[in-house]
Structure 1
Amino acid sequence: MESRTPPSQGDSSALSEGRRHKTGEGYVPLLMISSLCLFIGSISSSLLAKYYFIHKGSSRWVSTWVQSAGFPLLFPFIFVPYLLKRTQRRPFTHFTPKLWVLSIFVGLMLGVNNLLFSWGTSYLPVSTSSLLLSTQLLFNLILSVLIVKQKITFSNLNCVILLTLSSVLLALSSSSDRPPGLTRAKYFIGFFSTVGAGLLFALYLPVMEKIYRKVYCYAMVVEMQLVMEIAATVLATVGMIADGGFAEMKQEGESVFDKGPRVYYATVAMTVACWQMCFMGTAGMVFMTSSLTGGICMTALLAMNVLGGVVVYRDDFGGVKIVSTVLYIWGFCSYVYGMHLKNTKHQETKNKPSVTPPGSGPGNRHGPAMEMASSAQMPDVASVEV
């Protein structure tokens, strides 16, 4: 994916400028902005999606379309900095044909994921779908090991086992959790659609991490996101045209949605913006850290979605759901504690004063070399090479 043509002097300065976003003073602010976008976008989009279906919205293609239709919001972030001479890098610099193809392919995969998520949301309570989506962490760990060689530790394995057990308990109690008037067949369609959405999203994360390893700067991440969401929107638009979705959207807004046309289109617009924040937050987290960390953060927000469904929509939250949520929190805290111990050990190793062994003076080259090799074995997340 890396360009075979050596970059020019202007491009080189742009590349080094982009790398500072990941390794220098811009790393922490960008990571915080990505986390905030993910937090707000994930919770708001989940609640708005359910709000659409609760108030008699019924088109799953509309629900799918709004998840990616916010791509025009990315244009200012891509082109305005260059037009204002805030960066020397021209938009879409170093985009190879392979990178274009990969971006389009992943975008189509994201479009299918959006459709599955819409099916699940239309049939399941927010709390149930959120807990089911926690299975994406199991898939994420497995696929991260296979695709990006993620190391399995006790903390991440324990987290995955507990979250999987949480979802199994939820599945076993599914017969008593169906909304009134929903058939058993449709409930399980929503159930397995949600699990399928979790699987595809878990595949999306490590695939994007592998691609991002060849990306020069965060600006390219935004540009790739634009291409992917255009591809996903094209897929959703084709489905809407084939299924009469645009005419259905107009009819829903005027006569079906029980809150009126203004609230309907406001809901659609807010959902578009929130989904855009969610996906850009996810992309930023994966680029700045790793796919597993991004998956952990997404799963962490599922508890907030569960509580949001209980508080806003009065979803049932008794019995097995309580046990499932406790297991989820236990697993997530286990992972966070494991990461804390790892980072503490790493800092102690870095701060430990070097002891010169007997017989190793200035002329001995092996002592410093071994010390450098030892410190190089545990790279910091912020110093990952782009």
Structure 2
Amino acid sequence: MEQHQEEVRPLLNSDQEVQENSIEVLGQSSATMMVKSYYDKGGNSKWMGAFLQFVGFVILLPYYYISSLKSATRNNLNSNQSSSASTSMLALIYVTSGLLAVLECYFFSLGLSYLLVSTYAIISSSQLAFTAFFSFFLNSMKFSPYIINSLVLLTISSTILMFQTESESEHSLEDSKKNQVIGFICTIVASAGEGLFFSFTQFAFEKLIKRESFNVVMDMIIYQSVVATCVAFVGLIVSGEWKGLINEMDEYETGKTSYVLNLVLIAIIWQLYSIGSVGLIFEVSSLFADALGALAEPIIPIMGVIFFHETMDGIKAISMVLALWGFISYIYHHYANKTNSNAENGDTNQENK
């Protein structure tokens, strides 16, 4: 099995990497807080939570159209363009990734609606472990001691939250425990789904599409968003949740204008997150993109305490520290791997002189 090295592709520059890192971290934390605000202030639709993560792709269409025209011009001038996946293969890739994305987003919406945002964020950090697991099979990811340490810590971090005894809602204690179990299961399922989605996306870029261009990233974002938006819209209709949207808007705690503005901002921010995450998968790896997402998880509980007045008990604090420790362990792995790669390239250059 070919060993997968987590090194930056030649087309990546440090400024672009920093921008995408920032977009992903800020996008995920901001969007998560706004979705939680939607549910706390009167929103109830779970399919709407998933729908909003993809429908914002329409704001990218003008840029996508212009960049596609430029790409077509360049391709016409370059008759030696390397072969890529067929149209049918690309369609299969986009449909598969779109279905994976919308299903994991639906379960994330369920988990976020049942759990405190701080609890949800810590549990969802387990997606890094799932990404590593799927990357081992799909992307020939080799586990280092730092990766193994990171996975163990993240697994323990999520697991100990099962022993949390605080009330998660204003309902009876029995209902609260039931909601917590449902939210925990949904968030774990969603984390596994996102891990599979990230790993499959990297596999598609490297093994199937085989083209190194930012247009490939835009194609993936646009077409998978089209698929996911259609599926989420059908889910919204079939589930009957669309019938309650008008009433939901009328009874929204902060008013109709705030309701609409919140939904629009959620859709826009999720698209910024998509650009950052898919771009990093293309340029570095699925595990690195997921690790950057994990960086937002320790931020979200703190924001939950500030904006939603949630409590930070001992179990939750320990879990958050373990999740942060696991993330640092992975980042050190990436740093060490990149340092070794640079050293090897330097030795090779010296030998060639």
Task: Indicate whether the TM-score tops 0.5.
Answer: yes
Q: Show the counterpart of 2:121.
A: 130
Deviations 1:110-146 (A, max 9, x none): 1111110111011101110110101111111111101
Aligned partner (choices 340, 343, 348) of residue 338 of structure 2: 343
Length, aligned pairs only: 333
Alignment of 1:176 onto 2:166 = yes
1:57–1:256 CA contact under 8 A, matched in 2? no
Aligned partner (choices 93, 105, 116) of residue 114 of structure 1: 105
For residue 346 of structure 1, report the CA deviation from its aligned partner: 3.4
Tell me, in whole angstroms, the C-alpha distance in 2 between the residues paired with 1:186 and 1:86.
Answer: 51
Greater mean alpha carbon deviation, residues 214-223 or residues 140-149: 214-223
1:134–1:302 CA contact under 8 A, matched in 2? yes
Tell me, in whole angstroms, the C-alpha distance in 1 between the residues paired with 2:107 and 2:308.
Answer: 22
After TM superposition, the structure 1 = structure 2 runs for residues 39-118 of structure 1, keeping only pairs within 5 Å, are 39-83=25-69, 88-89=74-75, 96-118=87-109
For residue 37 of structure 1, report the CA deviation from its aligned partner: 1.9
Q: Show the counterpart of 2:280.
A: 285
Deviations 1:73-121 (A, max 9, x none): 221221123457896359xx96621111121121012111111011101
Once superposed, what is the RMSD of the aligned Cα atoms?
Answer: 2.4
Q: Relative to structure 1, is the Cα distance of residues 98 and 81 closer, same or farther in structure 2, using a 3 angstrom cutoff?
A: closer
Q: Show the counterpart of 1:259.
A: 254
Deviations 1:304-351 (A, max 9, x none): 112221221122112011111111222222222233233333333443
Tell me, in whole angstroms, the C-alpha distance in 1 between the residues paired with 2:71 and 2:202.
Answer: 30
Alignment of 1:312 onto 2:298 = no
User: Aligned partner of 1:230: which letter?
Assistant: V
Q: Show the counterpart of 1:187.
A: 180
Q: Show the counterpart of 1:154.
A: 145
Higher Cα radius of gyration: 1
For residue 151 of structure 1, report the CA deviation from its aligned partner: 0.4
For residue 189 of structure 1, report the CA deviation from its aligned partner: 1.1
User: Which of structures 1 and 2 has the larger relative contact order (alpha carbons within 8 angstroms, sep 6+)?
Assistant: 2
Scaled by the length of structure 2, what TM-score is found?
A: 0.87
| Residue ranges of structure 2 left out of the alignment (5+ in a row) | 1-7, 77-83
| Residue ranges of structure 1 left out of the alignment (5+ in a row) | 1-20, 356-367, 373-386
Alignment of 1:200 onto 2:196 = no
Tell me, in whole angstroms, the C-alpha distance in 2 between the residues paired with 1:75 and 1:94.
Answer: 23
For residue 178 of structure 1, report the CA deviation from its aligned partner: 2.1
2:123–2:158 CA contact under 8 A, matched in 1? yes
Deviations 1:231-251 (A, max 9, x none): 111111111112333332222
Greater mean alpha carbon deviation, residues 133-142 or residues 81-90: 81-90
1:40–1:277 CA contact under 8 A, matched in 2? no
Structure with greater helix share of residues: 2
Scaled by the length of structure 1, what TM-score is found?
A: 0.80
Q: Show the counterpart of 1:210.
A: 203
User: Aligned partner of 1:135: which letter?
Assistant: S
Q: Relative to structure 1, is the Cα distance of residues 202 and 335 closer, same or farther in structure 2, using a 3 angstrom cutoff?
A: same
User: Aligned partner of 2:189: which letter?
Assistant: G
